[in-house]
């Protein structure tokens, strides 16, 4: 059932890092209950529920927190939970009647994970934003992109997921371990701006050492500036990536491209990186992506074809490791990381709002009569 079997988590439905974090925890065996809004039950005009991959692995209870009976139900569920996860703006949880101080008074071991963009405090913490804005404030976005163009958003991987959900997951699990030892829960303030800044730690060190040119994006060793850590177009209009940083790997790159001896300027001669890149680009355009795979795949060049998502699911290595699984009738990433004794699993597909309202409450100890009363009052809604 996964390493988190027996851990009970309440998730207040939201977008971005909170559901991604809860997907990860559910994949690892946690008993996660997603509390959705009753207004979302049967909501039309959007993508079918099963394609909201981040919502997989956990039941969905539609609960009206604005009704006294709905709020009391949420409080009682939090009394039984080990972790509560929410992704609202600062102050919203309090306005809903789920003030962290109240929750910790009722359940002193509760861990409350709060995912926001700017954090719970700070001069702009109350304002709206998205991944692109949060990574803008950390130096991450400015460092990504070509020299002769604007910064390029790296999807929403760095803020929402790298700096958000992964730090949220690490934080709530660390606080859960602490609560198990001390008997005291706490609030985890997981801000995407904090996490994204933390991800940038090695680059701030390189900058301080005078080894990073922040005035010339795309001119550094691993931001596309060097010829030995870059992406090249192939004869068929596809791309390959090389990351031949170490001298022994760089020597192999020279050997398998035929650019040995004086064909290239010295590897670390930054002044001639553009010329070296142009020569490598010309060579890579002489063969198709598949031909370069045949030549380089089994070497230590540090090479890989640049694949689309569909191609990634079909790649032999990914298939051998079962990196993707079939769920809800389509391919999606498998649980990660992997555990030798307690492997994770996708236990169910993505649920729609209110799909499991009755069963979820029954699983958390509510009687049939209590569930019926809540449904009659409108505090819960079954899809």
Q: Which residues are catalytic?
A: 130, 160
Among residues 202, 193, 89, the alpha carbon closest in space to that of 141 is found at: 193
Residue 368 is given by DSSP the state H
Q: What is the distance between the alpha carbons of residues 191 and 133, in angstroms, rounded to a whole number? A: 13
Contact 285, 233 (CB under 8 A): yes
Eight-state DSSP code of residue 287: S
Instruction: Please calculate the CA angle 360-52-86 and round it to the nearest 5 degrees.
Output: 60
CB environment 282-321: b (16+ within 10 A), e (fewer):
eebeebebeebbeebeeeebbbebebeeeebbebeebeee
- In angstroms, rounded to a whole number, what is the distance separating the alpha carbons of residues 360 and 61? 7
Phi, psi of 232 (to 5 degrees): -125, 140
Distance CA 280, CA 257 (A): 8
Beta strands at 324-327 and 330-333: parallel, antiparallel or unpaired:
antiparallel
Coil, strand, or helix at residue 269?
coil
Instruction: Look at residues 122, 145, 142, 144 and name the one whose alpha carbon lies nearest to residue 192.
Output: 122
Q: Are 161 and 167 in contact (CB under 8 A)?
A: no
Given a contact cutoff of 8 angstroms between Cβ atoms, the answer to whether 21 and 85 are in contact is: yes
């Amino acid at each position: 059932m996964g390493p988190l079997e027996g851990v009970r988590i309440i998730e207040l439905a939201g977008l971005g890092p909170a559901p991604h974090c809860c997907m990860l925890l559910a994949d690892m065996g946690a008993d996660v209950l997603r509390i959705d809004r009753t207004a979302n039950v049967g909501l039309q005009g959007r993508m079918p529920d099963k394609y909201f991959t981040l919502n997989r692995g956990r039941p969905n209870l539609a609960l009206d927190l604005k009704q006294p009976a709905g709020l009391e139900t949420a409080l009682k569920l939090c009394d039984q939970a080990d972790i509560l996860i929410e992704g609202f703006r600062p102050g919203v949880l309090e306005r809903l009647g789920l003030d962290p101080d109240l929750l910790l008074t009722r359940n002193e071991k509760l861990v409350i994970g709060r995912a926001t963009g700017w954090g719970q405090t700070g001069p702009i913490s109350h304002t709206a934003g998205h991944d692109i804005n949060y990574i803008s404030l950390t130096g991450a976005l400015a460092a990504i992109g070509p020299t002769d163009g604007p910064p390029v958003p790296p999807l929403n991987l760095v803020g929402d997921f790298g700096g958000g959900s992964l730090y949220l997951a690490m934080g709530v699990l660390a606080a859960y371990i602490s609560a198990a030892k001390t008997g005291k829960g706490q609030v985890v303030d997981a801000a995407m701006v904090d996490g994204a800044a933390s991800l940038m730690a090695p680059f701030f060190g390189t900058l301080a050492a005078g080894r990073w040119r922040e005035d010339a994006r795309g001119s550094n060793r691993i931001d596309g500036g060097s010829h030995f850590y870059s992406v090249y177009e192939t004869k068929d209009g596809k791309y390959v990536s090389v990351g031949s940083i170490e001298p022994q790997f760089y020597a192999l790159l020279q050997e398998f491209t035929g650019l040995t001896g004086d064909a290239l300027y010295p590897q670390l001669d930054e002044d001639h990186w553009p010329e070296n890149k142009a020569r490598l680009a010309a060579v890579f355009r002489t063969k198709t992506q598949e031909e370069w795979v045949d030549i380089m795949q089994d070497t230590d060049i540090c090479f890989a074809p640049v694949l689309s998502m569909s191609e990634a699911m079909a790649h032999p290595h990914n298939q051998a490791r079962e990196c993707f699984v079939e769920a809800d009738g389509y391919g999606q990433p498998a649980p990660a990381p992997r555990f030798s004794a307690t492997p994770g699993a996708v236990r169910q597909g993505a649920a729609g709002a209110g799909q499991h309202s009755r069963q979820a409450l029954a699983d958390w100890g509510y009687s049939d009569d209590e569930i019926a009363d809540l449904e009659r009052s409108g505090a819960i809604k079954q899809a």
